[in-house]
């Protein structure tokens, strides 16, 4: 009887610890503002400020901007695509319209010649002349429906490259596995013509990229990649990669971070065979959307530098990420990696999770957040810098 009580007491303590830990990770944030809750928590370099561009965008994920200034936003779990309107061309959006719903993880959005392209899990669809029919959206045209249907890492980021082609990634449907012999599409970035033809593999050995952009000077593709799980809290790193040419292989599943052989698959290939990352990012930070800053209102030292939205770790003992980071380049090579905007993570609890970043025509940086259902606007003012 005494032994039974000890065992029961031990399990009770474990349960209490677990409940307390879970509570710490989910408690609401207080002391960071009232009407604009949370924004007072965000730390930025001197001269920068953050505000809500719009709220109530359920599950806001990837963003794209039309030449007319319409911001289109995809989602994942919400299954919706939004049009965010700013009729006054000021610092706040005026209206959010749901232009499509009931879609299968419509994370990725891209705009070209009046048409909105949307990436679902197994297909890319297109809404033609969408800006004239946002409240009465037309039936979508299927551009290409030949992608795998796996939901694990099945959500996609899409973007048109300088070559006019639409780039579409296919994530590995697992934490760690080797699918190269089964289906060569897994673990790649693919590209195709705007009409869906000539689909081909551009890059391989990529676990799951949910963000990429082209260097405005060199026109080379750069992309983030999420490292595998369950190799410990501090390994492997997420990656920032560069793919100047078609046909490059970035190591997955054989090698992680350029120099960490996988315990299982690393036995058959050597890390020296693959292209290493340009920059190792934080382990499990979930680096998603990235962009080169092409605006002119941020100080000179931020121009043509890389901003990365870090969604945040999901199973690390001490959470990291939940921020926007900055990778500085010199002569086209990364030389530093540092926080730019942080404060969505408070202790063990996060009230927001950055997903994507987009440079606006006025030079402001938009940041989407699928946990706080919001889009933020980060701007710079010399007067703010002087005040601080």
**pLDDT, tens digit, for every residue of 172-224?**
999 999 998 899 999 999 999 999 999 999 999 999 999 999 999 999 999 99
Tokens of 338: 């540092």
Burial readout 113-140 (b: 16 or more C-beta within 10 A, e: otherwise): eebbbbbbbbbbbbbeebbeebeebeeb
Residue 305 has pLDDT above 50, yes or no: yes
Average confidence (pLDDT) over 131-157? 97
Residue 10 has pLDDT above 70, yes or no: no
Residue 301 has pLDDT above 60, yes or no: yes
Q: Which of 31-35, 48-52, 123-127, 356-360 has the lowest mean pLDDT?
A: 31-35
Ranges of each domain in the chain:
1-30, 38-387
Question: What is the reported pLDDT for 36?
Answer: 53
Biggest CA-to-CA distance, the chain: 77
Residue 229 has pLDDT above 70, yes or no: yes
27 or 176, higher pLDDT: 176
For the segment(s) 38-387, the CATH number from 3.40.50.300, 2.120.10.30, 3.40.50.170, 3.90.420.10 is 2.120.10.30
- Quick one: three-class SS letters along 103-120? CCCCCEEEEECCEEEEEC
Per the listing, tokens 């003012």 go with 381
Mean pLDDT of the chain: 92
**Local confidence band at 382 (pLDDT 50, 70, 90 cut-offs):** confident
Q: Which of 143, 147, 136, 135 has the alpha carbon at shortest distance from 113? A: 143
Average confidence (pLDDT) over 60-89? 97
Residue 15 has pLDDT above 60, yes or no: no
């Amino acid at each position: 009887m005494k032994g039974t009580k000890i065992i029961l007491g031990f399990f009770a303590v474990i349960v209490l610890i677990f409940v307390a830990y879970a509570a710490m990770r989910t408690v609401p944030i207080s002391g960071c503002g009232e009407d604009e809750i949370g924004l007072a928590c965000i730390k930025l370099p001197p001269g920068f400020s953050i505000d809500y561009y719009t709220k109530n965008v359920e599950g806001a994920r990837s963003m794209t901007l039309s030449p007319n200034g319409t911001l289109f936003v995809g989602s994942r779990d919400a299954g919706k695509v939004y049009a965010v309107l700013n009729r006054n061309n000021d610092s706040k959006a005026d209206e959010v319209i749901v232009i499509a719903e009931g879609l299968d993880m419509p994370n990725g959005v891209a705009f070209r010649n009046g048409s909105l392209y949307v990436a679902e899990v197994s297909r890319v669809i297109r809404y033609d002349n969408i800006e004239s029919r946002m409240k009465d959206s037309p039936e979508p045209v299927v551009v290409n429906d030949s992608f795998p249907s796996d939901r694990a890492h099945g959500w996609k980021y899409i973007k048109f490259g300088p070559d006019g082609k639409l780039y579409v990634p296919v994530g590995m449907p697992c934490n760690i596995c080797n699918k190269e012999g089964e289906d060569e599409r897994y673990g790649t970035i693919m590209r195709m013509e705007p009409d869906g033809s000539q689909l081909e593999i551009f890059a391989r050995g990529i676990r799951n990229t949910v963000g990429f952009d082209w260097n405005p000077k060199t026109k080379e593709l750069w992309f983030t990649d999420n490292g595998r799980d369950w190799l410990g809290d501090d390994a492997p790193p997420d990656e920032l990669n560069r793919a100047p040419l078609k046909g490059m292989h970035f190591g997955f599943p054989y090698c992680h971070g350029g120099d960490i052989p996988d315990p299982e698959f690393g036995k058959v290939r050597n890390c020296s065979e693959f292209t290493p990352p340009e920059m190792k990012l934080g382990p499990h930070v979930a680096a998603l959307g990235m962009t080169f800053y092409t605006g002119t209102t941020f100080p000179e030292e931020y121009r043509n530098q890389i901003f990365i939205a870090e969604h945040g770790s999901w199973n690390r003992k001490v959470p990291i990420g939940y921020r926007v980071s900055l990778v500085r380049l010199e002569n086209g090579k990364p030389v530093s990696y540092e926080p730019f905007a942080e404060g969505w993570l408070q202790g063990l609890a996060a009230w927001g999770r950055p997903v994507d970043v987009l440079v606006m025509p006025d030079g402001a940086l938009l940041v989407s957040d699928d946990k706080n259902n919001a889009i933020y606007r980060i701007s710079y003012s010399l007067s703010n810098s002087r005040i601080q």
